[in-house]
């Protein structure tokens, strides 16, 4: 009887116990599902924040890259870069006698000369900016070091890297004229800017002009001509009419650039008086005289096509210079700066005419 009573009691309790256990399990499952949902939401939120953060970083990088490239472009002083590219290309064509000279070896020799010269160009203009930060804040505030877009450390790294690359390319080429040109450019560029005893030649008008004249007028024409003629094409080094003309003409042009370059940097009415006006017209007269000599040199050519191109080309450039010079406003700094860049455009144009002087 007791056993049967216990069994009956257990049979009555068991469904209730099972129901309780099921309820508890269901509650636990619901709690787990709730916790799981909360965790998933939190994970999605964290993942979403991470994606948004990464996307924001990429957007900032994409926005920053063009700004840094633009700053580097201005750091390189593009008008001097274009002058180097056009000048070396033109001079490198002077030793070329026929289509047979356009070989892969000649192309490689030209690229060695051009790349090393461009790196040296960046070194020279960058070094000048490093030592002229305070001056450039007044005269050239858009330059990256003066504006703060580049730190001094960044500028120093760019300058040093450019120098190392230039010298390394020169040494690898094993070209004596090219190495000589790079070392002389390094010395004169450093002497021009570095503020040290017996240096900082830019403080002296004669020494500053001599540096620019020697590099732009003599070194570029003779050294890079010798590099192509002697080292690349393996021919005896002999001056030609075109390289002599290029050297003499660019002496005049480089003198004008050296004289004219500081006029836009002068602030104050006392600097924009008779002295600046005299320098201005001196530069104009030097260029017009050079163009007159170039027209005579072109007229002496025995090749009719070359003669027409040389005479007409130099006459057109001289006329453009004279027309623009008549509207001078030496007291207007913006106008003087614009005219200075116009002189650089004439400088570029001349290198397109030099190969026709034979």
Sequence spans of domains, the chain: 63-238, 240-357
Range in 31-45, 104-118, 303-317 with the lowest mean pLDDT:
31-45
Is a pLDDT exceeding 80 seen at residue 276? no
Residues 347, 224, 163, 169, CA torsion sign: positive
Q: Kindly state the tokens that stand for 5.
A: 């009573």
Give CATH for domain 63-238. 1.10.357.140
Averaged confidence pLDDT in the chain: 81
Report how far residue 118's alpha carbon sits from residue 15's, in angstroms, rounded to the nearest whole number. 93
pLDDT of residue 67: 83
pLDDT of residue 73: 92
Asked if 301 and 243 count as a contact pair (C-beta separation under 8 A), the reply is no
Determine the Cα angle at 223 with ends 221 and 224, to 5°: 70
User: Which pLDDT tens digit goes with each residue over 251-271?
Assistant: 888 888 888 876 655 554 344
- For the entire predicted model, the pTM comes to 0.76
């Amino acid at each position: 009887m007791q056993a049967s009573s216990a069994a009956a009691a257990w049979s009555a309790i068991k469904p209730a116990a099972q129901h309780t256990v099921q309820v508890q399990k269901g509650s636990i499952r619901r709690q787990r599902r709730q916790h799981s949902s909360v965790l998933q939401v939190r994970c999605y939120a964290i993942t979403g924040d991470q994606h948004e953060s990464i996307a924001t970083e990429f957007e900032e990088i994409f926005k920053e890259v063009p700004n840094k490239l633009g700053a580097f472009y201005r750091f390189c002083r593009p008008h001097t870069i274009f002058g180097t590219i056009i000048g070396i290309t033109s001079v490198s064509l002077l030793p070329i006698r026929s289509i047979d000279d356009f070989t892969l070896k000649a192309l490689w020799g030209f690229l060695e000369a051009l790349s090393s010269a461009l790196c040296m160009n960046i070194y020279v203009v960058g070094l000048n900016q490093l030592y002229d930060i305070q001056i450039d804040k007044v005269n050239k505030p858009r330059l990256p070091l003066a504006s703060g877009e580049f730190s001094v450390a960044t500028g120093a790294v760019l300058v040093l890297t450019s120098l190392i690359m230039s010298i390394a390319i020169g040494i690898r080429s094993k070209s004596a004229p090219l190495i000589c040109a790079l070392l002389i450019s390094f010395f004169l560029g450093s002497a021009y800017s570095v503020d040290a005893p017996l240096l900082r030649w830019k403080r002296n008008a004669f020494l500053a002009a001599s540096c620019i004249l020697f590099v732009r007028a003599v070194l570029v024409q003779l050294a890079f001509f010798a590099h192509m003629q002697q080292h690349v094409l393996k021919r005896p080094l002999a001056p030609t009419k075109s390289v002599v003309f290029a050297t003499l003409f660019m002496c005049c042009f480089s003198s004008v650039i050296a004289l004219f370059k500081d006029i836009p940097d002068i602030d104050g009415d006392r600097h924009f008086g008779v002295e600046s006006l005299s320098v201005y017209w001196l530069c104009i007269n030097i260029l017009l005289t050079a163009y007159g000599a170039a027209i005579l040199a072109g007229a002496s050519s025995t090749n009719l096509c070359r003669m027409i191109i040389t005479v007409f080309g130099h006459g057109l450039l001289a006329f453009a210079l004279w027309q623009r010079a008549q509207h001078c406003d030496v007291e207007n700094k913006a106008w003087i700066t614009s005219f200075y860049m116009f002189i650089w455009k004439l400088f570029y144009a001349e290198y397109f005419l030099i190969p026709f002087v034979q």
